[in-house]
């Protein structure tokens, strides 16, 4: 897609350089097609993408995901509706992608625990974020682009909530469809969990006097984790094993042996107020207040034959002091004749093929890779900077409020928000640069260039006149409805940004030809291009769903086409009433 966008820009620049276009004595400069790189809407989109990364990097939305996970255990049907509603509301103010990324692991875990196919819920939740994204000017990047183009063409600037009412009216129907009907339309698709699921590690939680679990019964301690944690045994003192009875008290100094995935282990650590018992030495313990608290990466290293750790222990090799990395847990594949791990991981004799979960800095992991003493697996996991989650959330709320109340334009507000997140270390410069998508930027700039060419050469006027001429005898609400349907079809074939940027000047010109206000026609374009339900490449989050849910192309058609028809009919009824057409 980046290559296609660049090719479009190059073709336009070269074409208008070789074949100058002059109107009213003024030449359309080829460099005008590069102005999209400095477009205010594009800068705003980039700033909001970076802020979304800030929420993701700090884990600011994880408490919400954990709340939903608990609700799924108690009342799955109502939890499903709550998940759809929350996904839609969040997407009205945040980029859809971090919302979907936050919810995917939780939903897959819920599906596995409750023995139903993830495919029945993942796509409905993804579609709910697209419905919510319609509700505000900042809901999607396409919304920002369209309202920016409309303002450039002389329309009054849209307020953040100017088209929220029709979305509330029709969106409720759409969410109910996703809750009650869509899961029945989707076939059960088996997710390849055996290939994609994270490894399960043996770990030890150390309970101290300040732990939330200290003094609670065993049952109460498990409740802190939503009863998701499975404890193999409780160790007390020198090798004493305590029976796991519900009323047994958890005391300071106890060690809980647990088997789970890296992300869940870190989550349980926070919920219990416990510390992962690292293999530094006899008395060393890892924690969020440890000297290594700012190291924000988890990585997996494989013990190979002849390596430092082969047939040795983590304590005996002084692994932590040699590498600067903190061992947290050990994974050993279950195979016939292979002894399972029991006891302290620090004193466990490691075998070839064992995987050690470690925490450390990029530089230390890179140094270990270069040493060649062990195999470091690619794909380290960034640990959320949870102690900065509140700051990130407050900054995001203030940015939205400043724009909604009119204190600052959203472009200025978003840039100030990025600066605040960097200044408060919710984000690193690496996070900020990694949040920007070259694909999205090139598509937007290329689409802006195409839109400029259509507007300046009269192409938009020509298309609008042809459309209106063919439908002149039809009522205005019907023409509005047809425009929205064309946009809905187009957005599932090309990118929604391209459809919106090209469709907006045509819609405005159509309204002028009909002698009616242009605002409802612009809103129709916004709603139409956000109906990216029918194909996996209609929107970038659809591609995430395609992989995570094990869907086929036909599944998007099966659930997406009825939703598109429902939303289109709903808006076709509501918009003429609201805008008095």
Span 99-132, pLDDT tens digits: 787 777 677 767 766 667 778 888 899 999 999 9
Cβ-contact 357, 381 below 8 angstroms = no
Residue 279 per-residue DSSP state:
S
Mean pLDDT of the chain: 79
Q: What is the mean pLDDT of residues 23-45?
A: 78
Alpha helices in 492-552, H assignment, sequence order = 496-514, 519-529, 540-548
CA Rg, the chain, in Å? 28
CA atoms of 388 and 385, how far apart (whole Å)? 6
* Structure confidence at residue 284 (pLDDT): 43
Residue 16: pLDDT band (50, 70, 90) is confident
More confident residue, 461 or 378: 461
CA atoms of 299 and 262, how far apart (whole Å)? 9
Q: Which two tokens stand for residue 555?
A: 């599944």
Cβ-contact 510, 468 below 8 angstroms = yes
What angle, rounded to 10 degrees, do the helices at 553-578 and 476-491 form?
A: 150
In sequence order, what are the beta bridge partners of 276?
205
Q: What is the mean pLDDT of residues 173-201?
A: 73
* Structure confidence at residue 160 (pLDDT): 84
Judging by DSSP bridges, how do beta strands 240-242 and 231-236 pair with one another? antiparallel
pLDDT of residue 264 exceeding 90, the answer is no
Q: How many CB atoms lie within 10 A of CB 253?
A: 13
Residue 328 backbone dihedrals phi, psi, to 5 degrees: -110, -35
Judging by DSSP bridges, how do beta strands 201-206 and 26-27 pair with one another? unpaired
**202-261 pLDDT tens trace:** 778 888 888 888 989 988 888 888 878 888 888 887 767 787 778 888 988 888 888 777
Nearest one of 276, 256, 258 to 326, comparing CA atoms: 276
Cβ-contact 101, 55 below 8 angstroms = no
pLDDT of residue 57 exceeding 90, the answer is no
CA atoms of 387 and 499, how far apart (whole Å)? 41
- In the block, residue with structure tokens 């075998």: 351
CA atoms of 495 and 417, how far apart (whole Å)? 28
* Structure confidence at residue 383 (pLDDT): 52
* Structure confidence at residue 372 (pLDDT): 59
Residue 370: pLDDT band (50, 70, 90) is low
Q: What is the pTM of this model?
A: 0.66
Nearest one of 140, 162, 14, 93 to 495, comparing CA atoms: 140
Residue 159 per-residue DSSP state:
P
CA atoms of 376 and 360, how far apart (whole Å)? 12
Residue 535: pLDDT band (50, 70, 90) is confident
Best mean pLDDT range from 307-316, 317-326, 562-571:
562-571
Q: What is the mean pLDDT of residues 489-510?
A: 83
Q: Quick one: what percent of the chain has pLDDT higher than 70?
A: 85
CA atoms of 102 and 60, how far apart (whole Å)? 10
Element (H, E) at 275: strand 275-276
CA atoms of 435 and 415, how far apart (whole Å)? 14
CA atoms of 524 and 547, how far apart (whole Å)? 31
Q: Quick one: what percent of the chain has pLDDT higher than 90?
A: 13
Cβ-contact 492, 538 below 8 angstroms = yes
CA atoms of 296 and 307, how far apart (whole Å)? 26
pLDDT of residue 295 exceeding 60, the answer is no
Q: What is the mean pLDDT of residues 175-190?
A: 86
Q: Which two tokens stand for residue 562?
A: 């009825």
**460-482 pLDDT tens trace:** 667 777 776 776 678 889 989 98
* Structure confidence at residue 28 (pLDDT): 79
Cβ-contact 98, 392 below 8 angstroms = no
Q: Which residues contact 555 (CB under 8 A, 6 or more apart)?
A: 119, 123, 186, 187, 189, 549
pLDDT of residue 197 exceeding 50, the answer is no
Residue 357: pLDDT band (50, 70, 90) is confident
Residue 293: pLDDT band (50, 70, 90) is very low
Q: What is the mean pLDDT of residues 149-155?
A: 86
Judging by DSSP bridges, how do beta strands 255-260 and 231-236 pair with one another? antiparallel
CA atoms of 482 and 247, how far apart (whole Å)? 66
In sequence order, what are the beta bridge partners of 331?
355
Q: Which two tokens stand for residue 216?
A: 């609670």
Q: Looking at domain 297-314+321-382, what is its CATH homologous superfamily? A: Regulator of K+ conductance, C-terminal domain (3.30.70.1450)
What angle, rounded to 10 degrees, do the helices at 164-180 and 76-91 form?
A: 150
CA distances from 393 to 30, 139, 400, 420 (A): 43, 17, 11, 11
Cβ-contact 164, 135 below 8 angstroms = yes
The dihedral through the CA atoms of 514, 516, 517, 523 has a sign that is negative
CA distances from 382 to 262, 295, 437 (A): 11, 9, 19
Q: What is the mean pLDDT of residues 413-432?
A: 86
pLDDT of residue 519 exceeding 60, the answer is yes
- Domain range 209-284, CATH architecture: 2-Layer Sandwich (3.30)
Please, where in the chain does CATH 3.30.70.1450 lie? 209-284, 297-314+321-382
* Structure confidence at residue 382 (pLDDT): 55
pLDDT of residue 23 exceeding 90, the answer is no
CA atoms of 48 and 160, how far apart (whole Å)? 15
* Structure confidence at residue 335 (pLDDT): 46
Judging by DSSP bridges, how do beta strands 26-27 and 297-302 pair with one another? unpaired
* Structure confidence at residue 2 (pLDDT): 63
């Amino acid at each position: 897609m980046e290559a296609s966008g660049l090719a479009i820009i190059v073709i336009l620049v070269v074409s208008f350089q070789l074949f100058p276009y002059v109107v009213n004595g003024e030449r359309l400069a080829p460099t005008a097609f590069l102005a999209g790189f400095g477009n205010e809407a594009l800068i705003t989109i980039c700033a909001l993408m970076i802020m979304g990364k800030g929420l993701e990097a700090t884990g600011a939305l994880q408490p919400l995901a954990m709340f939903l996970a608990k609700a799924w255990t108690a009342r799955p049907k109502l939890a499903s509706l709550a998940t759809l509603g929350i996904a839609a509301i969040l997407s009205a103010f945040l980029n859809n992608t971090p919302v979907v990324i936050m919810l995917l692991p939780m939903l897959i875990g819920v599906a596995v625990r409750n023995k139903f196919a993830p495919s029945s819920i993942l796509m409905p939740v993804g579609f709910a974020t697209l419905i919510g994204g319609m509700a505000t000017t900042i809901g999607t990047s396409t919304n920002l682009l369209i309202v920016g183009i409309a303002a450039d063409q002389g329309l009054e600037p849209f307020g953040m909530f100017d088209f929220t009412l029709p979305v509330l009216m029709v969106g409720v129907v759409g969410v109910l469809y996703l809750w009650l009907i869509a899961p029945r339309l989707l076939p059960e698709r088996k997710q390849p969990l055996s290939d994609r699921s994270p490894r399960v590690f043996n770990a030890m939680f150390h309970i101290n006097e300040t732990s939330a679990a200290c003094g609670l019964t065993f049952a109460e301690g498990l409740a802190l984790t939503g009863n998701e944690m499975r404890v193999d045994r409780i160790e007390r003192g020198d090798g004493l094993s305590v029976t796991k009875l519900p009323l047994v008290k958890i005391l300071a100094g106890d060690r809980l042996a647990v088997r789970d995935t890296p992300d869940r282990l870190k989550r349980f650590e926070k919920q219990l107020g416990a510390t992962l018992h690292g293999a530094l030495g006899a008395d060393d313990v890892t924690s969020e207040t440890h000297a290594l608290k700012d190291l924000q990466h988890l990585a997996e290293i494989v013990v190979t034959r002849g390596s430092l750790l082969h047939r040795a222990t983590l304590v005996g090799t002084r692994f932590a002091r040699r590498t600067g990395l903190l061992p947290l847990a050990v994974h050993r594949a279950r195979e016939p004749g292979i002894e399972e791990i029991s006891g302290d991981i620090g004193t466990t004799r490691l075998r070839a093929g064992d995987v050690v979960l470690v925490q450390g800095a990029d530089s230390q992991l890179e140094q270990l890779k270069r040493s060649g003493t062990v195999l470091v697996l690619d794909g380290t996991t960034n640990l959320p900077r949870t102690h900065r989650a509140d700051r990130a959330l407050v900054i995001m709320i203030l940015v939205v409020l400043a724009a909604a109340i009119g204190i600052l334009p959203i472009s200025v507000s978003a840039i100030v928000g990025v600066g605040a997140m960097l200044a408060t270390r919710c984000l690193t410069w690496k996070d900020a640069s990694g949040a920007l998508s070259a694909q999205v930027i090139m598509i937007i700039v290329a689409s802006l260039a195409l839109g400029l060419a259509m507007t300046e050469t009269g192409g938009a006027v020509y298309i609008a006149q042809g459309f209106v001429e063919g439908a002149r005898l039809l009522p205005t609400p019907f023409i509005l409805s047809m425009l929205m349907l064309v946009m809905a079809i187009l957005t599932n074939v090309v990118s929604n940004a391209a459809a919106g940027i090209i469709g907006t000047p045509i819609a405005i010109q159509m309204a002028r030809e009909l002698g009616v206000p242009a605002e409802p026609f612009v809103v129709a374009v916004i709603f139409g291009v956000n109906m990216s339900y029918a194909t996996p490449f209609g929107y970038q989050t659809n591609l995430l769903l395609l992989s995570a849910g094990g869907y086929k192309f036909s599944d998007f058609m099966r659930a997406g086409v009825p939703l598109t028809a429902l939303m289109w009919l709903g808006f076709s009824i509501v918009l003429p009433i609201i805008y008095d057409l």
